[in-house]
Amino acid sequence: MEIRRDDIDQSVIDKEKDIYMTLAKNENKPDNIAQTIVNNKVERFFQDNCLLEQEYINESSKSVKNLIEDFNKSNDAGIDVVKMIRYQLGGEKK
């Protein structure tokens, strides 16, 4: 998982787009519809893989990025996420 969209390598994004386009084409979707599907799925990919894009758990209409922006405005602060450590409870199953 990355902090922001820009942190994800472009080759990963391109690969995801290719996968989504192939799936849409396999369902015989017209090009304009297929492109819309790809764009929507890439947006979802960012929401799943970027901390700042993720939904704030206490208020689903806001993202983590929105929460930080609101905090900065109301507290005249300049808080930014520069590093993230992910902890996982329990062992990984193989």
Domain boundaries, the chain: 5-75
pTM, 2 dp: 0.80
Contact 64, 47 (CB under 8 A): no
List the beta bridge partners of residue 59: 56
Give residues with Cβ within 8 angstroms of 21, minimum separation 6.
34, 35, 38
Give per-residue pLDDT as tens, 14-59. 999 999 999 999 999 999 999 999 999 999 999 999 999 999 999 9
Rounded Cα gap, residues 9 and 72, in angstroms: 28
